[in-house]
Amino acid sequence: MPIYEYVCPKCSSRFELLRSMSQANEDAPCPQCQQKAKRVLSVFAGLARNGDGLTSSLGGGSCGGCSATGCDSCSI
């Protein structure tokens, strides 16, 4: 099972939980104060998301094997 990270809105405590993916978006009780803590994206997931944004902004119709100015394998 993957590990998910949660931050408590009341005491700001950060904790990790081993959960099934179907439970990932559910609130988890804070171990300190039992408030419902929201899931936060891990550093790893944040990096992956930035990577996607970078790829799509660079993509822009090029084939990925060339710079944005075009090449033989793309139709720019």
Classify residue 23 by its DSSP letter.
Answer: G
For residue 34, the minimal CB distance to Zn ion (Å) is 7
| C-beta neighbour count of 46 within 10 angstroms | 11
Residue type (1 letter), 52: D
For residue 10, the minimal CB distance to Zn ion (Å) is 5
Judge contact between 29 and 17, C-beta under 8 A. Answer: no
Residues in 1-60 that interact with Zn ion by CB under 5 A: 8, 10-11, 13, 30, 32-33, 35
Q: Nearer Cβ to Zn ion, position 17 or 62?
A: 17
Classify residue 35 by its DSSP letter.
Answer: P
For residue 17, the minimal CB distance to Zn ion (Å) is 13
Which residue ranges make up the site for Zn ion (CB under 5 A)? 8, 10-11, 13, 30, 32-33, 35
